[in-house]
Amino acid sequence: MEHNFIDIELSWLESCITKKINKDLSKNIDSTISKQNDIVIDSYYSQLASKLSKSERLILILALAQYIAPKKLLALMTAKEEDLTIGGLTLQNSYSGFIPTIDTALYLLTNDKYSIVNRLSSLNLFDSESTLIRENIIQLEKQDSWTPFTASVLTINPYVLHQILWNKPYVPAMSSSFPAEKITTEQEWSDMVVNRKTEKQLEEILSWVKQRNAMKSIPAVARKVLPGYRTLFYGPSGTGKTLAATLIGKLTGLEVYRIDLSKLVSKYIGETEKNLKQVFDIAEQHDWILFFDEGDAIFGKRSETSSSNDRYANQEVSYLLQRVERFPGTVIVATNFKTNLDKAFLRRFQTIVHFPAPNEDTRKMLWEKVFNDEVPKENDFDFSFFAKNFELTGANIINVLQQAVVLGFEENGGTIGKPQLTRALTRELSKLDKLDMKTERKLIFEHEECC
């Protein structure tokens, strides 16, 4: 159905070209176009066409033809020899064909090529506020700085073109030019253990993401409120910031992409902004949630300008600030220390969510959830003992689980016993430099005896 619909649009384009070249002005572009009500909304292209005016649809199919049906434009290449108002570029190389420009679109859209009024009216379709340009569907490429604006080549945004051709979103592989990766979780909202204040703030974010489109439908609100939602997660490592971000995506049906700051920041001037633009442009097309982990690496405070390096670093922060502010989706920035972030960013966050280190009660809940009934273990352990004596985060406790399971398979037939659990805990505490050989290790083995 998708290809049939595109074929109908191409036939309509061909008819418009023929009538224009033959100077058949008895009918305008409406004469052969399929009616808007006849569009079957079952594909990306048909969805795109359904929200465009007939003139915009003509521009779109004109730009698309050079990629999928270049023969449809050969008549324009031939006619250009006699009528320079057709515009376009004629290529005579390995690809012998015709590349349409704004002039080409104006030629097809105006009944009288000498009518300045008609030409200026049609030119509005290429204004920055027009649908095709504002939504980054059509891109305009000037060949030289001295050529007029109307000589700009019509191209289709590569991400839009990919969706038209394959009817599915384009997601590039993670690389230095696309420093983002999709993150998911098998856990559920009930698996997350945070204090009530933090949970309430996360629920507010969930409500916004779920109701964002309904809010945009109220013009009085949409005019006053900045697009998108920006939130800061801060607190020690392992307290659930990444899990919360992935769960928000899971519960709202949105994909979450974590920005790899090691690949994002480049030593070459302008490359960081270029990488950022790549991520934000694709994210806007797909309605992703963007998650900046260790955000102070790029959202950090701007410094005093004492060298060219300082100026470029400040430019990167300023550019990021602008893109985050314009992003229509959800941006989550995570950091260990809120004070490390630039105040200009802090002012623009709708919510700032604190993920504190878990207290004794929270630690007990974490131990019980991590070592739940589905985990093979010999008997019930005294988790209140662990919670009271060892200040660990959820991530630390999961590390203990992983090590205890391995030891259980090696030593106890796949079941976690007291020796395996205590040794796994000992190793985690040692890794964190929290193991005092004279006291805390003694407590661990006292627990082994008391259980």
pLDDT, tens only, 194-233: 999 999 999 999 998 888 777 777 777 667 777 788 999 9
pTM: 0.71
Domains with residue ranges and CATH for the chain:
2-166 (no CATH), 180-354 (3.40.50.300), 360-450 (1.10.8.60)
Chain segment 372-422, per-residue pLDDT in tens:
888 888 877 788 888 888 889 999 999 999 999 999 898 888 888 888 888
d(CA 182, CA 210): 20
175 or 233, which is more confident? 233
138-141 vs 153-156, strand pairing mode: antiparallel
Given this model, what pLDDT does residue 114 score? 59
Quick one: pLDDT band at residue 432, thresholds 50, 70, 90? confident
Q: Which amino acid is at 430?
A: S
184 or 438, which is more confident? 184
How far is the CA of 4 from the CAs of 61, 62, 139, 226, in angstroms? 14, 17, 25, 40
> Is-contact 301 341, C-beta < 8 A?
yes
Average pLDDT over residues 84-113: 83
> Is-contact 101 141, C-beta < 8 A?
no
Please count the CA atoms within 13 angstroms of the CA of 378 that sit on its side-chain side. Answer: 16
| H or E element that contains 229 | strand 229-234
Q: Return the number of other C-beta atoms located less than 10 Å from residue 78's C-beta.
A: 12
DSSP label at residue 259: E
Given this model, what pLDDT does residue 25 score? 58
Average pLDDT over residues 101-111: 91
- Is residue 355 predicted with pLDDT exceeding 90? yes
| Strand, coil or helix: 171 | coil
- Is residue 87 predicted with pLDDT exceeding 70? yes
Q: List, as one string, the DSSP characters of 283-302.
A: HHHHTPEEEETTTHHHHBPP
State the greatest distance between any 2 C-alpha atoms of the chain, in Å, as a whole number.
98
Non-local (6+) Cβ contacts of 368 within 8 A are 383
Least confident interval from 114-128, 216-230, 289-303, 434-448? 434-448
- Is residue 442 predicted with pLDDT exceeding 70? no
Q: Closest Cα partner for 142 from 133, 154, 157? A: 154
> Is-contact 414 376, C-beta < 8 A?
yes
Chain segment 301-334, per-residue pLDDT in tens:
544 445 444 455 566 667 777 888 888 889 999 9
Given this model, what pLDDT does residue 213 score? 76
Given this model, what pLDDT does residue 315 score? 66
Q: List, as one string, the DSSP characters of 86-132.
A: G--EEE-SSS-EEE-BHHHHHHHH-S-TT-HHHHHHHHGGGSTTSHH
d(CA 229, CA 48): 25
Given this model, what pLDDT does residue 396 score? 93
d(CA 66, CA 46): 19
Given this model, what pLDDT does residue 12 score? 93
- Is residue 106 predicted with pLDDT exceeding 70? yes
Q: In degrees, to the nearest 5, what angle opens at C-alpha 333 toward C-alphas 331 and 338?
A: 140
> Is-contact 141 241, C-beta < 8 A?
no
146 or 75, which is more confident? 75
Quick one: pLDDT band at residue 134, thresholds 50, 70, 90? confident
- Is residue 438 predicted with pLDDT exceeding 60? no
Kindly report the average pLDDT of the chain as a whole number. 82
Given this model, what pLDDT does residue 321 score? 79
Return the structure tokens found at 171.
Answer: 């997601």
Q: Supply φ then ψ for residue 31, to 5 degrees.
A: -70, -35
Return the structure tokens found at 11.
Answer: 């036939």
- Is residue 63 predicted with pLDDT exceeding 90? yes
441 or 386, which is more confident? 386
Given this model, what pLDDT does residue 27 score? 54
Average pLDDT over residues 48-62: 93
Average pLDDT over residues 104-123: 81
Assign residue 228 a region (left: φ > 0; alpha: ψ between -120 and 50; beta: otherwise): left
Given this model, what pLDDT does residue 305 score? 47
Average pLDDT over residues 247-268: 82
Residues found in the chain: 451
